[in-house]
Structure 1
């Protein structure tokens, strides 16, 4: 059985390696702008993950294939924070997160091409940041770490010091809820 991770994320590759040793990566070319945000963050991330998953499924010929896709966003007061486009946007996101509770949502989609079965799920983790000084935010932005991460931070890096409390799956905040994924793969019949 061929297993494909539909993601360019180094963090997702590293996390998937914890439960699977043999998989390959094919980066999805799905245009995320095709999915409008309708106010339901769980549904939104599931649709994004499914779009990525099916994009890769349509680009592969082999049928004995399982494709895994994931998409993660940060939600603060019903506003979705994706990846910042520049330093100003990163600063604004981190300023908004400072001293507040936010939610990290990941949509997960696993598609078994052989029997045409698909499972989509979403996972939500609640995170509370300490109050951050402008100087600390600027120091973090200078590290260049925020730019490929939803909400402009990576909990597994320097920004881990921002986190006062976490309620839910830590790995979800990193970018791949491996507990949920493990049981979805088992349900799909993947030999783990």
Structure 2
């Protein structure tokens, strides 16, 4: 039965959260928060978004991923489908995954000793009602003035090739981030505080997702 809390109607049922992302970091973030999502990779081509501001790129790709996954037959009825995407803004450009060692090295030479903004788009679809809520969260990231040898060693690990902005804060790249302003989880790729608010906006309880963990 639903109950009213303030201006929201909160349901006591525990919907399944479907994560439309292949990101191990996003999955680990949700698991550490007590939520075990069903993972359904969207398969969306991240290069299809046109000439948009970096924050808008993250939001548009998150929406496309959630839409693609919500239409899949394997998504349980009544599930909440979450699409996410992250880009690093540097010099007004949206930097996604570098894809090659050469590009990762080039980016780090441009980033070191400087500050960028990590934008993570969130698009949450309630398949029971058809409602969609969205938000893009931005966190300022200060990069250490790393040496050429450190860049070469980091790129050789392969880690920066497959993550937005060519860095992680929760992995080997953490030592190369001198500070942040904003949500730490957002830099990993998913803002837990903002996701909690999005879940509530759709009329669901965040803590109810803890009890709906699928193992």
TM range (shorter): over 0.9
Equivalent position of 1:79 in the other structure:
93
TM-score, structure 1 length as denominator? 0.94
- For the residues of structure 1 that align with 2:203 and 2:65, how far apart are their CA atoms? 21
CA contact (8 A) 2:54 2:93 kept: no
Measured after TM superposition, the shift of residue 9 of structure 1 is 0.9
Q: Note closer, same or farther for the CA distance 1:81–1:125 as it changes in structure 2 (3 Å cut).
A: same
Q: 2:123 aligns with which of 89, 109, 113?
A: 109
Indicate the structure (1 or 2) with the bigger Cα radius of gyration.
2
1:141 and 1:23 map into 2 onto residues whose CA distance is 31
Between the aligned partners of 1:87 and 1:187, the Cα distance in structure 2 is 41
Matches of 1:161 and 1:33, distance apart in 2: 30
Gap change, CA 1:189 and 1:22, over 3 Å in 2: farther
For 2:115 and 2:138, locate their aligned partners in 1 and report how far apart those are by CA, in whole Å.
Answer: 13
Deviation at 1:6, TM superposition (A): 0.4
* Residue 10 of structure 1, aligned match among 17, 24, 34: 24
CA distance in structure 2 between the partners assigned to 1:188 and 1:18 by the alignment: 23
Contact 2:55-2:87 within 8 A present in 1 as well? no
Aligned equivalent of 1:64: 78
Q: TM-score, normalised by structure 2?
A: 0.84
CA contact (8 A) 1:19 1:182 kept: no
Distance 1:20 1:188, change over 3 A: farther
Moved more, 45-54 or 76-85: 76-85
Q: Structure 2: give runs of 5+ residues left out of the alignment.
A: 1-14, 208-215
What RMSD over aligned residues (CA atoms) do the two structures have, in Å? 1.4
Q: Does 1:53 align with 2:66?
A: yes
User: Are the equivalent residues in 2 in contact too, given 1:109–1:120 (CA < 8 A)?
Assistant: yes
CA distance in 2, matches of 1:159, 1:102: 15
Aligned-pair CA distance for 1:42: 2.0
2:58–2:119 Cα contact (<8 Å) kept: yes
Q: Which runs of 5+ in 1 are unaligned?
A: none
